[in-house]
Structure 1
Amino acid sequence: MGSGRPRSCRRLFNSLVEQGNLRLKTIVMGSLFLIFILINSFLLSSAPIGRAKKASTFIRSEWPSDDIPLGHEAFAIPKGYNAPQQVHITQGDYDGKAVIISWVTPEEPGSSKVQYGKLGHQYDLSAEGTWSNYTFCKYNSGYIHHCLLDGLEYSTKYFYKIGAGESAREFWFQTPPKIEPDAAYTFGIVGDLGQTFNSLSTLEHYMQSGGQTVLFVGDLSYADAYRDNDIGIRWDSWGRFVERNTAYQPWIWSAGNHEIDYMPDVGEIRPFKSYLNRYPTPFLASGSTNPLWYAIRRASAHIIVLSSYSPFVTYTPQWIWLRQELSKVNREQTPWLFVVMHVPMYSSNDVHFMEGESMRVAFESWFVQYKVDLIFAGHVHAYERSYRISNIHNDVSTRACFPVPDKSAPVYITVGDGGNQEGLAGKFRDPQPNYSAFREASYGHSILEIKNRTHAIYRWVRNDDGKKVPTDSVVFLNQYWASNLRQRRLKNHWWKNHIFAF
């Protein structure tokens, strides 16, 4: 009997411990769920329209907005006879296992070969490219080379060499991770850049951000502000200007109005002539018939690039292609779905107000149907972020002609604030519309840091007269994952019966 009592006490103690552990687990799970709810209420995807909208009162002081003089070191020509310059890379296929390397030789064609490998200064692989040149008004371009490196390995650093002899130049790039739903990746978003001191500030700040690839929302060089020979010269200077970054990581290009270069008064009637000669895209890989619209997959993101200045109404090539491409998106592999274009569909700035309305009418219902996460645009030289809203039920006969909250809709972000010579679009419409969450007329860039299949951190960074200042930040919940979660919550009552049991 003497030993029975201790065993009985131990059984009672163990029973209490087990009950305590179960209760502790329930409390912890409940607490985590409450934390999730709190975070979710903070997320933009669940923020009701009009809540906490902000129009920044920041007023920037003077900062040079004229183009940088051609003799400035930002446009330095590399040393050596016929040395490659204006080096830039972009994704070369659909899934991120190829890059297109482009450069210009000014004096003669030279070699179009790229030597590359996984070790610095040791190049055991090579690829042969092509070259071309063009004229624009009185300008004769250099020799523009494009070379495709394919069959690359994911998550690998490659070194590459172009040119020959003392004029050869060496660079490197990092391939993205394998396409899978939890692949983390960081995108920069830059637009309307130009080649001013503000542009230089934006570029240098982006290079400090940890961004791995730029989604460029159009308007590159602003060379069309010049005439005759200077148009081409300013395309060349811009290529050297951005080389400090474009030679080391892909920029995913989209074209803006300043790439059209339609100038019949000087005999130039082929739109996008300079842009198409200089900046190739992997359009064929996504079944597109035109390099101005295409799609790629990178890490956990599916990225669709549209052309605001090409036909897009019903049954045009761009319309047909987009319908097919959206149907191909696999959110189980690439849960994040982004669209890049130049003209914003939603903007509360007086400049270019409602210019994107026709494309909105054509495509917005698709973007809601396929639960696009984010749509990035430029054109308006300011920054603005919307709530998740849609106007797909627009009906003038019933006067239902205004955006409403829509959890399935994208967030629309305008990042047309790179720093070009035209200056800022400082006049917003007053009062601030309910669909507008944050807006400010300042130069800057954005960073989107994908964490996993469910969450991404977004930041807009202002150039405060040469200094970078993080100004707007949001945690985004993935649209596809959030939709599935909402459905599971409705079907599964286990959460209701157990999580709140404490």
Structure 2
Amino acid sequence: MGFAPSLRAGFLLVLLGLCAALPPPAPPEMLHESFAGKSEFRTVNRRPLESCRNPSPYLSINVSTAGPLPDEAFVNVTVGGVFRPRGSHWVAMITPSNSSVSGCPLSGVNYLETGDTAKLPLLCHYPVKAQRVKSDPSYLGCKKAACQKRDASGGCQVRTCGATLTFHVINFRTDVEFVFFAGGFQTPCLLKRSGVLRFANPAKPLNGHLSSTDSTATSMKLTWVSGDGRPQQVQYAGGRAAASVATTFTQKDMCSAPLLPSPAKDFGWHDPGYIHSAVMTGLQPSQSYDYRYGSDSVGWSDTVKFRTPPAAGLDETSFVIYGDMGKAPLDPSVEHYIQPGSIAVTKAVAKEMQTGKVDSIFHIGDISYATGFLVEWDFFLHLIRPLASQVSYMTAIGNHERDYAGSGSVYVTPDSGGECGVAYESYFPMPAAGKDKPWYSIEQGSVHFIFMSTEHSWSEKSEQYNWMERDLSSVDRSRTPWVIFIGHRPMYSSNVGIIPSVDPDFVASVEPLLLTNKVDLVFFGHVHNYERTCAVYKGKCRGMPRKDASGIDTYDNSNYTAPVHAIVGAGGFSLDGFSLIPQSWSVSRISEFGYARVHATKTSVLVQLTIDA
């Protein structure tokens, strides 16, 4: 086994730390924090939001779009008529437009519940975006002045100030309003509302993304979102068509707690519309096809070209793998839970795909970080659309999709914000064992992939454990000589945090399965960096890589000793560091945004890390 920039002869697993430049990550100019649902305690502390005292009679807020909103736009929001510009002035994007804009001083508890510690607007319903007006550098100096009243000689008697902000808007189906506030995020008072803006086509089919259904690569599932639940279809391969099945979920499906309702139940709820899925059949492995999706009544998507992955048993496959991506705004807005590296990583993967050498993408947990703020799923799906619409986008569930008290998760944390896996399984229908059983295996080329859920019971003799034992023991190594094990929470990490990154009970239960079944390589996320081990078992190195003439770490698996573990959780979330005292099993540690690209043949696996240089 090894880490190298080129393939090596022999039965080798080749893993590498080759660094290539990513685009620079989005600047961390946003603040974060969150609030959630209604409770008796919250109601006691809720106060009506009154208009600010002595506002200017000339106040205005105008939006640049002349008509209904398109599916994507950068709209200019101009505020004017302000007597005294202040740093505490801000503008929120509210959806739906009838959402409460009253102040809730204790709403910040709900942001903290999901792990976001930044300061966000304390309204009674989550504003999708917010920008401080001073982000227009001309505002505080009143460089955009207007004369509201002149005297008889033409001199200006009343002078006011203004500013223009740019908001990135996508079609999330519900209507929008921009609201101008004073008082800062913590003690807001209302100055002016823009009036309601609606999308031109709230039912438009959007954000199509692909997934594999089995190991033959002769069928692919396409999933998309629409505001209309009537059957639609995908048209593909020059005349074929497949009808969609539409699902949705409601607030009643979200998890919560009696004393502190979850964000998904109240504060962060947003109607998801309808999630459509259709299966394209009769395909051939490693072939390209065109498709579009929708209907005559709601409209059609653009035509997209996609490529099927290689079938099981073929000589080779190539894939990209990362975890913990999330999303970040494409404007200067403040949003809940911004992942500063997500834009750079998606752009880099898109560039990688232009080479034609990416068969699949694997996103291994902590997908969108919506965590109960449901509109953020739309922004995440929009972000990955250039990737997931062209190749199979396979996922594993993480703590920020599943965990919540009383939900049956192994870990009793509020990390999903009350989503409890419902939104994740709706948007990413994998070929899983069943509802709320998000474990599965699939084969591509020379590799058998097994995806587990670290959030569901993995203890010995549990349903998932028994399934993993059966699956691993049934691999045909003559067809797929490599076995790659994938999950979210790691077994080995040098990260030192308040909450431990590694659960020793998980390691004790599952690690023996990996050794017994000669798993070659293990990928995890959860920790936001890159780290690679020796061939390790029970914390001891059973095999060390040797460096070839080019300085490449190479692990020779013709003499198997133990799995090699790699954390690839640097897909976007703020990065984690490492202990100052290195562990004996830790071979490589890099704290930079990036992803791994993997190429597997019958005799070698090459893993190359692409990072932000």
TM-score, length of structure 2 as denominator length? 0.58
Measure the CA separation in 2 of the matches of 1:73 and 1:127: 33
Would you say 1:437 and 2:587 are equivalent positions?
yes
Deviations 1:124-146 (A, max 9, x none): 21111210111232432111101
Would you say 1:449 and 2:596 are equivalent positions?
no
8 Å CA contact retained: 2:217, 2:284: no
Measure the CA separation in 1 of the matches of 2:379 and 2:226: 13
Instruction: Tell me which of 416, 425, 429 is aligned to 2:576.
Output: 425
SS at match of 1:314: coil
Would you say 1:296 and 2:429 are equivalent positions?
no
SS at match of 2:209: strand
Instruction: Tell me which of 362, 375, 382 is aligned to 1:215.
Output: 362
- Counterpart of 2:375 in structure 1 is 233
- Counterpart of 1:317 in structure 2 is 463
Taking a change above 3 Å as real, the CA distance of residues 235 and 360 of structure 1, as seen in their structure-2 partners, is: same
Paired letter, 1:240: H
- Counterpart of 2:569 in structure 1 is 416
SS at match of 2:396: coil
Deviation at 1:461, TM superposition (A): 1.1
Instruction: Tell me which of 289, 309, 329 is aligned to 1:176.
Output: 309
Deviations 1:401-426 (A, max 9, x none): x4131443111010111112xx2112
8 Å CA contact retained: 1:337, 1:374: yes
- Counterpart of 2:478 in structure 1 is 332
For 1:52-451, what aligned pairs fall within 5 Å after superposition? 63-64=27-28, 66=30, 81=201, 82-106=203-227, 108-117=228-237, 122=238, 124-136=239-251, 137=265, 138-165=269-296, 167-169=299-301, 170-180=303-313, 183-196=315-328, 197-209=340-352, 210-224=357-371, 231-260=373-402, 262=404, 271-284=420-433, 290-351=436-497, 353-391=500-538, 402-406=539-543, 407-420=560-573, 423-426=574-577, 428-450=578-600
Deviation at 1:239, TM superposition (A): 1.1
SS at match of 1:208: helix
Paired letter, 1:457: L
Taking a change above 3 Å as real, the CA distance of residues 134 and 294 of structure 1, as seen in their structure-2 partners, is: same
SS at match of 1:234: helix
- Counterpart of 1:15 in structure 2 is none
Deviation at 1:113, TM superposition (A): 1.3
Gaps of 5+ in 2: 1-6, 19-23, 33-127, 130-165, 174-198, 252-264, 329-339, 407-413, 544-559
Deviation at 1:215, TM superposition (A): 1.4
Deviation at 1:40, TM superposition (A): 8.0
SS at match of 2:342: helix
Gaps of 5+ in 1: 1-37, 55-59, 392-401, 465-502
8 Å CA contact retained: 1:217, 1:255: yes
Deviations 1:75-101 (A, max 9, x none): 577996222112111111243222111
Structure that is richer in helix per residue: 1
8 Å CA contact retained: 1:375, 1:412: yes
Deviations 1:279-316 (A, max 9, x none): 101124xxx67541111111211110000000011111
Deviation at 1:317, TM superposition (A): 0.6
Deviations 1:170-199 (A, max 9, x none): 222211233225x22111011100112520
Taking a change above 3 Å as real, the CA distance of residues 261 and 311 of structure 1, as seen in their structure-2 partners, is: closer
Percent of residue pairs identical: 26
Measure the CA separation in 2 of the matches of 1:75 and 1:105: 13
SS at match of 1:408: coil
Deviation at 1:65, TM superposition (A): 7.0
Deviations 1:17-36 (A, max 9, x none): xxxxxxxxxxxxxxxxxxxx
Deviations 1:217-262 (A, max 9, x none): 10011111xx6xxx11111111111111111111111011110263
Taking a change above 3 Å as real, the CA distance of residues 257 and 424 of structure 1, as seen in their structure-2 partners, is: same
8 Å CA contact retained: 2:489, 2:501: no
Taking a change above 3 Å as real, the CA distance of residues 87 and 44 of structure 1, as seen in their structure-2 partners, is: closer
Taking a change above 3 Å as real, the CA distance of residues 242 and 268 of structure 1, as seen in their structure-2 partners, is: closer
Paired letter, 2:426: N
8 Å CA contact retained: 1:44, 1:387: no
TM-score, length of structure 1 as denominator length? 0.70
SS at match of 1:163: strand
Paired letter, 2:446: S
SS at match of 1:235: helix
8 Å CA contact retained: 1:303, 1:339: yes
Measure the CA separation in 2 of the matches of 1:40 and 1:363: 32
Measure the CA separation in 2 of the matches of 1:42 and 1:277: 40
Deviation at 1:63, TM superposition (A): 3.8
Measure the CA separation in 1 of the matches of 2:541 and 2:246: 51
Measure the CA separation in 2 of the matches of 1:377 and 1:76: 33
8 Å CA contact retained: 2:13, 2:606: no
Q: Structure 1 residues 154-163 or 346-355, which shifts more?
A: 346-355
Structure that is richer in strand per residue: 2
- Counterpart of 2:138 in structure 1 is none
Measure the CA separation in 2 of the matches of 1:330 and 1:457: 21
Measure the CA separation in 1 of the matches of 2:307 and 2:518: 30
SS at match of 2:515: helix
Instruction: Count the aligned residue pairs.
Output: 387
Deviation at 1:64, TM superposition (A): 2.3
SS at match of 1:283: coil
